Amino acid sequence: MSSDTDIYKHQNFGNKLGIGDKAALLIVDFVNGFDDPDQFGGGNISEACDNTVSLLAACRDMGMTIAHTRVVLADDGSDDNIMAIKVPALKTLTEDAECSQIVERLTPRPGEIIVRKRLPSAFFGTDLAPNFSMRRIDTVLVTGCTTSGCVRASALDAMCYGFRPIVISDCVGDRALGPHEANLFDLKQKYAELMTRDEAIAELTSRQAQAAE
């Protein structure tokens, strides 16, 4: 019996993208509510959040552009959307709600981008794409949650806007491992490149050292 990847290899899917000339780190929705299994979390989300701490530190040390996202809906329900109909609990993610605040261990620093979004993608209905373009970003390291939802949507839109999406496989998580693994497989074959946290740090560090020579 052929493996799941055989047909992709036969049709020449899954080619490498590589990191381009200038990368940014995108941290998708690592907020308190998604760090809590009793709210929106579970699965390997908290572990992925923990793994992102050292990646964030490394990217900061290298002076990279950092962007964080939050889902923020209006207190009065005036901007509720289809996603909020599917998952009504999302209506609790308002500007001042504790569940909508970025987790303490990934607290943004002054100068880092904070994107408030109402839908899955970090790029849809926001100014993130032109912001990255203004900074001459060509590659986006994608971390966050959930792999099957906002991470996938953000990676796909990054590709559509012409950025190379590099999904950091151990820094993304989902409340169920089946969707997590299936979406990593699909992203790798068609839309993005996968790297582990340590692989990404090593690659970025090597490039920075070469540029300094």
Render each residue's pLDDT in the chain as its tens digit; 213 residues: 467 889 999 999 999 999 999 999 999 999 999 999 999 999 999 999 999 999 999 999 999 999 999 999 999 999 999 999 999 999 999 999 999 999 999 999 999 999 999 999 999 999 999 999 999 999 999 999 999 999 999 999 999 999 999 999 999 999 999 999 999 999 999 999 999 999 999 999 998 888 777
Residue 190 near residue 157, CB atoms below 8 Å: no
Kindly state whether residue 105 falls inside one of the protein's structural domains.
yes
Give domain status of residue 147, yes or no: yes
Residue 162 pLDDT: 98
pLDDT, residue 4, reads 81
Q: Is residue 150 part of a domain?
A: yes
Which pairing describes strands 139-145 and 23-28: parallel, antiparallel, or unpaired? parallel
Enzyme catalytic residues: 150
Q: How much is the pLDDT for 1?
A: 40
Q: Is 35 within a domain?
A: yes
Instruction: Measure the CA–CA gap between 10 and 204, rounded to whole angstroms.
Output: 31
Residue numbers of the domain that contains 51: 20-212
CATH at 179: 3.40.50.850
Neighbours of 20 (CB within 10 A): 15
pLDDT at 142: 99
Task: Give the predicted TM-score (pTM) of the model.
Answer: 0.96
Domain count, the chain: 1
